[in-house]
Structure 1
Amino acid sequence: MSTVSGTGNTSSVTDNLSITKKTETKKNTNELGQAAFLELMITQMNNQNPLSPQDNSEFVAQLAQFSSVEGLERLNTSFNSFMSNNALQASSLVGRSVTVKSDTSMLVTGGIVAGSVDLALPASDMKISIYDEMGALIQTVPVGKVPSGETVFRWDGQNMEVNGQLLDWEAGDDAAAAGKYRFAVTAMQDGKTEALDTSLSANVNSVTIGENGALILNLAGVGAVDAKNVKQFN
């Protein structure tokens, strides 16, 4: 029996598809690109046995597999680009101040710590107590009556400003030294003294990218905080 050759005088599949091979100088690589994959597949089609051609479903399966791998590579490239952009944006936050839910913050020389509390009800009397890093009480600031809603305060280590008004009280002659401080705010509401959650300003010392691209801010006097938990960028 004569042997049937996969080549002959008839036009090859390559000719029918009008694909022109180009000779290029390429670096040695173990990766199979799209052009190389198509070239191998067409060569396989050209040299298959006409009496026992490869099932079309096999070609479709090969194309689907390649498309899946190529899609994953593109997704990986896009993700890497996203991470790079996130890292670039995150670097611009270093040195800035943000406000987060916390009862501690770092006072720097010549700086201020800004804070806020939210009151569901008006308070007949509010006090802000400030403790140093060793837990010693250094100031108890009498605020007095405050309405419901957000109350904002600013402390420079000596003087306290609440809702834009500088409090007139005996603050002492010496300002507190730079360092980490804890703030405890209490308010008298409906005859009961309630401890309130505080939000404080803090400086962004550094930024890291955590799992799934989450931005983690390392805040002075606070610690690591997810960027999504930032209340305000100051």
Structure 2
Amino acid sequence: MSTTDSISSGILSKYSGTSTSTTNESSYSSLGKDDFLMLLVTQMNNQNPLDPQDNSEFVAQLAQFSSLESLTNVSSSMDSLLSAYQSSQALQASSLVGRSVTVSASSTYVDGAEGMTGSLVIPSAADNISVKVYDSAGSLVKTIPLDSQTKSGTLSFTWDGTNESGVAQASGAYTFKASASLDGTTTALETYLPATVSSVTLGSGTSDMTLNLAGVGSVALSKVINIGQ
């Protein structure tokens, strides 16, 4: 067996989980650039002087080695970028806890003494617009009438935390259902409500982080339309 074949056999046996040497070799899933370079140099050192390696074949092997090294560097750079992204996520997460955000939701936690302000989207001219407020038991607390709209747009509404009789309600989770008459048809509308970030779950890899909101539940950061104080 030639020197080149011996070294090649030793390297290949290392990656198959067995070793031809007396030392304990770890199993690997693929050849590294150092092993590739070792094979290339050994091949050059032990080539037949009467029948040397063809120049074009040698250049092709150098190009392969260059490509392998470039891919290895790209992989390292991606690992660094991922690490930096995760660090940025952690920093962003720590700054969000305790802050108020606005998300598309039908329920949220409301401080009865302060009330809350939300919004809804009107897709076209509409009338008979209203927002109904329900408590955690599903009982209607209050109906908030809103002005008719002649065009599409965002419409804000405010609930002062009282029922139809003006009695202040206890703090807790409340559900908001908005509707309007569009072309004579009563249509449910999407509501956007404020909620406080109680905790944050970091995403794995490049996945989005998740905000855990009081009275709302878990919402992806990408679904937040506004971040307040």
TM-score bracket for this pair, using the shorter chain length:
0.5 to 0.7
Larger mean Cα displacement after TM superposition, 115-124 or 177-186 = 115-124
One of 209, 217, 221 as aligned partner of 2:202: 209
CA distance 1:150–1:70, change in 2 (3 Å): closer
How many residue pairs end up in the alignment? 193
Aligned ranges 1:108-187 → 2 under 5 Å: 108=111, 110-143=113-146, 145-148=148-151, 149-158=153-162, 171-173=165-167, 175-187=168-180
Q: Deviations over 1:21-59 (max 9, x none)?
A: xxxxxxxxx99998x779958964884446165651334
Counting aligned pairs with the same residue, the percent is: 34
Specify the alignment match of 2:12 in structure 1.
Answer: none
- What is the CA distance between 1:187 and its match in structure 2? 2.5
Q: Matches of 2:112 and 2:139 in 1, distance apart? A: 20
Letter in 1 for 2:159: W
Rg: which structure is higher?
1
- What is the CA distance between 1:182 and its match in structure 2? 0.3
CA distance 1:109–1:142, change in 2 (3 Å): closer
Query: TM-score normalised to the size of structure 1?
Result: 0.67
Extract unaligned runs of 5+ from structure 1. 1-29, 160-169
Specify the alignment match of 2:11 in structure 1.
Answer: none
Q: Deviations over 1:143-198 (max 9, x none)?
A: 45455432201224128xxxxxxxxxx5423x111111101122344444332221
CA distance 1:125–1:39, change in 2 (3 Å): closer
Letter in 1 for 2:156: V
Specify the alignment match of 1:13 in structure 2.
Answer: none
The 3-state SS of whatever aligns with 1:210 is coil
CA distance 1:118–1:42, change in 2 (3 Å): closer
